[in-house]
Amino acid sequence: MGGWLARVWACLLVGALLCASPACACDLPPGDTATVASVVDGETLELTDGRKVRLLGVKAPAAPLGWKGDEPWPFVADSKEALDRMTSGATVELRFDARREDRHGHVLAQVFLTQDGEPLWLQEALIAQGFARVYSLPDARACVGALLAAEREARAARRGLWRSWAYRVQDAGDPKRLGRLTRTYQLVEGTVHAVGEGRKLLYVNFAEDWHSDFTIMIERKSLARFEAEGLDLGQLAGKRVRVRGWLEWWNGPMIAASHPDQIEVLAPASGL
């Protein structure tokens, strides 16, 4: 019996050690292997076989559309350089979620490699070091939970881009500033004033004047995704919430949310 128990404990220990690796944090089936030819930007690789790979689950720093400043936009070059350092000439493993391509024909994948003899999950490394933020898709959500955890730690430690004014979490109570940030990817945080319901849409409003306040807009057809993970959007009034997505203008600044990874319900004392 003692030998049997020893073998069981040995197996459990090996399993625990294996699951401390990045691969266990992103439990997708093994996929293609390929070699990196070059880095296009902070979230895109070009492979020697001609394919371009967009790093699934991350949004690298990028200047706002139409921006014509004299100085380089913060952390754009740093992000690309970090990705180049990690992947230059490397053989990588691509792991696929339900959606394998974006609308531009780029491959969508979680990317793994070995660096200095250790396994490296590329997306997690970029986010943990502050070279990217989490960017999830409704039909490719595997591994996002681990990336969000890495982002929270990097933000709390003010690593990389989290030191820059350009990527700070925005205040939902400042619609004028948010209005100047339309067509950019942002994290916005505030206390929900009320939740309104329409025939096709649900509106999470952050002030009394819904004609000009910041709003999260959710299509009714998407509600099942939130309910499946225990997020009752109709009960958000009075709660502090952080949302991520593309800022647009529709009766004030607005982010459209289509899946639960975009919305985090926070403790009341959480700061920006």
Which one is predicted more confidently, 21 or 89? 89
242: nearest Cα among 205, 184, 190: 190
Q: Give yes or no for residue 19 having a pLDDT over 80.
A: no
Instruction: Report the distance separating Cα 174 and Cα 214, nearest Å.
Output: 8
Q: What is the pLDDT of residues 161-194, one digit of tens each?
A: 999 999 999 999 999 999 999 999 999 999 999 9
**Residue 71, C-beta contacts closer than 8 angstroms, at least 6 positions apart:** none
Q: What pLDDT score does 23 carry? A: 60
Q: What is the pLDDT of residues 194-250, one digit of tens each?
A: 999 999 999 999 999 878 899 999 999 999 999 999 999 999 999 999 999 999 999
**Residue 157, C-beta contacts closer than 8 angstroms, at least 6 positions apart:** none
Q: Give yes or no for residue 6 having a pLDDT over 50.
A: no
Burial class (CB in 10 A: 0-12, 13-18, 19+), 165: exposed
For the chain, residues classed under CATH 2.40.50.140 are: 169-266
What are the CA-CA distances from residue 182 to residues 52, 163, 215, 245, 251 (Å)?
Answer: 28, 22, 13, 11, 13
Encoded amino acid at 49, one letter = D
- For the segment 48-56, the average pLDDT, to the nearest whole number, is 97
- The three-class DSSP label of residue 108 is strand
For the chain, residues classed under CATH 2.40.50.90 are: 25-163
Q: Which CATH architecture has domain 25-163?
A: Beta Barrel (2.40)
Phi, psi angle pair for 165, to nearest 5°:
-60, -30
pTM: 0.88
Q: Which residues pair with 202 in a beta bridge?
A: 197, 218
Give the residue carrying structure tokens 């997306």: 123
The CATH code for residues 169-266 is 2.40.50.140
- For the segment 119-130, the average pLDDT, to the nearest whole number, is 97
Q: Give yes or no for residue 22 having a pLDDT over 70.
A: no
Q: What is the pLDDT of residues 63-109, one digit of tens each?
A: 988 777 778 999 999 999 999 999 999 999 999 999 999 999 999 99
